[in-house]
Amino acid sequence: MTELEMTAVPNLKKGCILTLFGGILWGLSGTCGQYLMQSKGLTSDWLIPIRLLLAGMILLTICFIKDGKKVFQIFKNPKDGLDVLIFGMFGMSMCQYTYFTAISQSNAGTATVLQYIGPVLIVIYVSLKTGKRPDKIEVFAVGLAIVGTVLLATHGKLNSLAISNKALFWGLCSAVALAVYTVQPGAILTKYGSMIVTGWGMLIGGIILCLFFRPWTLAVTVDGGVIGGLTYIILFGTIVAFVAYLEGVKWVGPKRGSLFASVEPVSATLFSALLLKVGFGLMDLLGFACIISTIFLLTLGKRR
């Protein structure tokens, strides 16, 4: 084994651990949000503006310490500045708001799995935009996503819903928002890097949602549980998870990284069951398996 190969092996292991760790932290963040909203009486109207605002400020501070005035270069180009504004307003804010609202109407596991329909929507969008038919693996993935959604929503009984209309609506909205969140900022992500774009997206999204929902006017009882939960979501479920995942992707590559990130819905489901005693039936687990399988199919198949 060459010296280069000997160096690559521990780095690969390090990358695997970091990407998995980031996905697990994201999953636990959803469970923590469920606890705050269903046990502490918080709403996504209060939680998400505060989360995005504080997380954006912290992330941009880290970027400024690391990169200095490069943080502000994105606004020197009017088009790039407009793109990051759109990303913050319609990508980041909507992705987070719809996801946590879906959690409030169901549970972290179901909401996270429904959001993971987003990559399938991206396949459909790319096919329509390019005029190219999806390949067999992509068609199969779309089919699996539909079957999984039906199983989650109806438990196999097509004449009734097993989850509330609101849970299904917000879950599917979060999938659409995830697709927009993923596709829209492509050019500026390549140009300025994920941390800077995400930091500005969070800060802008937080400001917009604060102006819209005015969380300071909402009655919230802040106790130790709320402070602890909010601290986890902002620091570990956002900052640490994001940095760990990006650092891991540097070593394992985006293809493996996206596979390891699919641990998020699995961890959200497990944490909901273990920590919040949420029960999942056979049909739920089959629906989860169908939707999560699409991530593996789309990542391992032909990538466009």
Q: Which of 11-20, 174-183, 206-215 has the highest mean pLDDT?
A: 206-215
Q: Give the containing element (helix H, strand E) for 201.
A: helix 194-213
Contact present, 115 and 234 (Cβ < 8 Å): no
Cβ atoms of 116 and 265 within 8 Å: the answer is yes
Query: How many residues are present in the chain?
Result: 304
At 57 the pLDDT is: 96
- pTM assigned to the model: 0.89
Going by C-alpha positions, the residue among 12, 30, 23 that lies closest to residue 242 is: 23
Q: What DSSP assignment string belongs to 149-173?
A: HHHHHHTT-TTS-SS-HHHHHHHHH
Only one residue has tokens 């492509």, namely 186
For residues 45-73, one letter each, b for 16 or more C-beta atoms within 10 angstroms of the residue's C-beta and e for the rest, the string is bbbbbbbbbbbbebbbeebeeeeeeebee
The 10s digit of each residue's pLDDT in 247-278 is: 888 788 766 777 777 889 989 999 999 999 99
